[in-house]
Structure 1
Amino acid sequence: MIPVTTFDGRKVALFGLGGSGLATARALKAGGADVVCFDDNEARVAQAAGEGLATQDLRDLDWSDVAALVLAPGVPLTHPVPHWSVELARDAGVEIVGDVELFCRERRKQCPSAPLIAITGTNGKSTTTALIAHLLKALGRDVQLGGNIGTPVLELDPPQPGRHYVVECSSYQIDLAPTLDATVGIHMNLSPDHLDRHGSMENYAAIKERLVAGAKVAVVGVDDRLSSAIADRLELARKPVCRIAGEKELTNGIYARHGRLIEAHDGSQIEVALLGGIDSLRGDHNGQNAAAAFAALRALEIPAAQIAEALKTFPGLHHRMEVVEKKGRVLYINDSKATNADAAARALASFDRIYWIAGGRAKAGGISSLDEYFPKIAKTFLIGEAAQDFAKTLDGRVPFKISGTLTQAVQDAAAEAAEDGAAEIAILLSPACASFDQFPNFELRGAAFVDAVRALPNSGNTQEVA
């Protein structure tokens, strides 16, 4: 835990007692703050009270001596309407912050030299975060991994010299971190997401931009127009910027092309790493992820050759393009984290002959945007609530079977792939859907896929396990 001493002796109101909110309340109390907690969920309030935390309906609180409202990232700050606790804080002239902001203040107070690598973006940020942490650990660094990727940032070990923090930041967390000051700030890409919470694409992009604008070194993906404009603005403001790409060649920056990582300076190009053969880094999107990680470590003055060697050992992120087994010509790929069509597109682009398992609780737009990848799909096996609607989209264009359940889909795909003579086949779970019709979360859906694969006849006789 990182005790939050920057509010020692002062009253702090906290709303939202989920995982990160409860961790923040503990850290504030440990640092000497007089913290008062609340949540609309009575069970969470009871849990906090059971831990000895002070709880009170914040509507009954005297706000005249409150130093700050600490808001959990899942609670609306602006859109669709500010939460009632936000309105109370604003009326009282009280600042509103989140756990990432508290972490940044504590790092500045305790050990500002401890490197902070902060990562954001619509897609790819979790893989990039995990990749950077893996590379640093492989190279013998003291690494703390957390934020939006899993461990709440205030549950990490306290700052000290040489300790590297690798923190994934959602747009919600950035919105509550006005003084976020990473050593290296990474922005991957932008596509429409969370617009119900930010009101417009412009607002969403502006919040993402804050992370790199406040960093000592900005690493910015330029494969999309809005992100490229962020890089241009930072450069005009004379900020140190490294452009990265997975889909285009750059004159200056780091980009991936045909399984190679290229560093470009004024048009000159140097191959700095080979990605071909690293199954966990397949595809253009993973080329961008690798470019971001390489740029971040180079900004920390780590030699290129060491980074290139460490890339070969990356096992991949659980549930994101995760190689579960490789049996003969068949790869079993767990991409359960692909909960929308845009994320699924990245997986579909990475293989040439695919037996695709898709479906669940559909997002807006379904899978119609994936039609450019249909020629790669040998057959689709549909599961969950979306099966009938997806079947209508695929009808006459891609062979499909409504398998219904994930276990049945794995069995159906394995049986048909066994009759396929292609040199390499991917049985790919990339649902393009939320999991909530059949599973509580995408992690349990991915685990069920792994179990179903390993329950197949002769499973375990693998050439490769990730």
Structure 2
Amino acid sequence: MIAVTAYRGERVAVFGLGRSGLAVAAALRAGGAEPVLWDDNHRQRDGASAAGFRVEDMATLDWTRVAALVLSPGVPLTHPEPHPVVRAARGASVPILGDMELFQMARADLPAHKVVAVTGTNGKSTTTALIGHVLGGSGRAAAVGGNIGAPVLALDPLDEGGVYVLELSSYQIDLTEAFVPDVGVFLNLTPDHLDRHGDMAGYATAKERLFTRQCAGQTAVIGVDDAHGLRFADRLHAQGTVRVIPISGARLLAGGVAVQNGTLYDQIAGQLTPVGSLSKAPALRGQHNGQNAAAAYAACRALGLDANTILDAFATFPGLAHRMQRVATANGIEFVNDSKATNVDAAARALASFDNIYWIAGGRPKTTDLSGLEALFPRIRRAYLIGEAAAGFAESLDGKVDWVMAGDLGTAVTQAWADAKGRGRAVILLSPACASFDQFPNFEARGDAFAAAVRALLGRDTPSAAEGGRP
């Protein structure tokens, strides 16, 4: 645990008692503060009480005695409207912050270290994990956390020279005022979470906050495969404050890093240098993973690692569960769990990585308009539609892609296998383009259910099926 001493002897309200909220409370208590906790869910409150924390209803809290409110990133700060606890804190002029801001406060008490922070709409977790994997393979101490794995304050302090590699959501960035990474990574920006940011401009502003406090000697790694990223990189270049390394998963870049046709290129120093092929890194297949690899390479180069060390580590990266994860193969048919694809753009990345696809899609939609995927429709043999999005997706696909109403995930897996087997090499792909909350508590549970359905199906149907791990 990383102790936070900035509020020693003071009362700090902690609202939202998921993993990060409890980690915040523990870090504050270890640093000598008096954390006061609350959550709208009584089970969360009961768990906090059982852990020995003071639990008090913040509707009746005396805010004049509170030094700060630490808010869970899942609690609305501004949109669609501020949570009542936010209004109460603001009414008493109490600062509102998140766990990343507390980590920034604690950094001065830690041994000398670096911080890499990764954000973007898609690819954050893979890129964060990949940077941590490369650093570990190089022998450099690294801790990976934030929006992936352990909350930042639950990480163990690193020895001198260590690197904290953190994934940050836009919600977490919204709750920062002084947090600044030594290396910031911005991957991409597509419509997502607009209910929490009001519109695309608000969403973009939240992401860009990660870089506003960077200064000379620090690095901004910026994905330029979308129009916003390209404009943002140009703005940072024009400001001339920090070192900017543009990255792409598709085209070569002056002064940047790119993957083109499966080969990684380094042009940071001006000369175009082919680093090597990603063909030996099966967990990084697909153009979107080319962007992730380019970003991880640029971040690790900014930290002083050499090109060959980075490329060698890419080859041993196991990938992440629920992100284009191969769960089994049988009779030339590959079953791929991409449950993390909770929006259309993320699903597009998976669809672009395969041919002969039996596509399982649906859930709770952020949109039912699939017109942005039309260039990929020829790759799809049939779509199996599930959840609340099924009718809307059917309307969007009608006359363009063969589809069936499967309704639920188990039925979709069974139908796709029946259609695919005996027809040559193919992929049965769960890439829902939707949130999971209509039928599952989260995308992990949905992905686990897909893998369980595949195992059950192949156990019945093909005893010789080869179970797969991460690609």
2:459 paired with 1:458: no
Aligned partner of 1:152 in structure 2 is: 151
Residues 212 and 219, structure 1, Cα contact 8 Å, conserved in 2: no
Residues 12 and 70, structure 2, Cα contact 8 Å, conserved in 1: yes
Aligned partner of 1:202 in structure 2 is: 201
Aligned partner of 1:427 in structure 2 is: 428
Q: CA deviation at 1:366?
A: 4.0
TM-score of the superposed pair, with normalisation by structure 1: 0.94
Q: CA deviation at 1:273?
A: 2.7
Identity percentage of aligned residues: 53
State the aligned residue count.
463
Aligned partner of 1:21 in structure 2 is: 21
One-letter code of the match for 1:465?
G
One-letter code of the match for 1:127?
T
One-letter code of the match for 1:296?
A
SS of the residue 1:60 aligns to = coil
Name which of structure 1's ranges 235-244 and 363-372 shifts more when overlaid on structure 2: 363-372
Counterpart-to-counterpart distance in 2, 1:260 and 1:172: 34
Name which of structure 1's ranges 166-175 and 327-336 shifts more when overlaid on structure 2: 327-336
Change (3 A) 1:206 1:395: closer
Aligned partner of 1:447 in structure 2 is: 448
SS of the residue 2:272 aligns to = strand
Residues 255 and 262, structure 1, Cα contact 8 Å, conserved in 2: yes
Counterpart-to-counterpart distance in 1, 2:330 and 2:22: 44
Change (3 A) 1:459 1:219: farther
1:155-170 equivalence runs, <5 A: 155-170=154-169
Counterpart-to-counterpart distance in 1, 2:335 and 2:310: 28
Residues 368 and 389, structure 2, Cα contact 8 Å, conserved in 1: no
Change (3 A) 1:317 1:459: farther
Counterpart-to-counterpart distance in 1, 2:172 and 2:127: 18
Q: CA deviation at 1:266?
A: 7.5
Name which of structure 1's ranges 254-263 and 13-22 shifts more when overlaid on structure 2: 13-22
Change (3 A) 1:185 1:14: same
One-letter code of the match for 2:237?
E
Residues 328 and 463, structure 1, Cα contact 8 Å, conserved in 2: no
One-letter code of the match for 1:56?
E
SS of the residue 1:108 aligns to = helix
Q: CA deviation at 1:63?
A: 2.7
- Give CA deviations for 1:367-408 in whole Å, capped at 9, x if unaligned: 333222111111122223333332333232222233333223
2:126 paired with 1:127: yes
Aligned partner of 2:213 in structure 1 is: 214
Name which of structure 1's ranges 226-235 and 390-399 shifts more when overlaid on structure 2: 390-399
Change (3 A) 1:253 1:328: farther
TM-score of the superposed pair, with normalisation by structure 2: 0.93
Change (3 A) 1:221 1:382: same
Q: CA deviation at 1:146?
A: 1.1
Q: CA deviation at 1:357?
A: 1.3
CA RMSD of aligned residues (A): 2.0
1:319-334 equivalence runs, <5 A: 319-327=322-330, 329-334=332-337
Q: CA deviation at 1:358?
A: 1.4
Residues 326 and 465, structure 1, Cα contact 8 Å, conserved in 2: no
SS of the residue 2:24 aligns to = helix
SS of the residue 2:6 aligns to = helix
2:415 paired with 1:380: no
Residues 368 and 396, structure 2, Cα contact 8 Å, conserved in 1: no
Aligned partner of 2:338 in structure 1 is: 335
- Give CA deviations for 1:278-322 in whole Å, capped at 9, x if unaligned: 332111111100000001111111110011111011111110111
Change (3 A) 1:43 1:449: closer
Change (3 A) 1:460 1:261: farther
Aligned partner of 1:91 in structure 2 is: 91
1:236-255 equivalence runs, <5 A: 236-238=238-240, 239-255=242-258
Gaps of 5+ in 2: none
Counterpart-to-counterpart distance in 1, 2:138 and 2:268: 26
Q: CA deviation at 1:409?
A: 2.2
Residues 358 and 426, structure 2, Cα contact 8 Å, conserved in 1: yes
Residues 280 and 323, structure 1, Cα contact 8 Å, conserved in 2: no
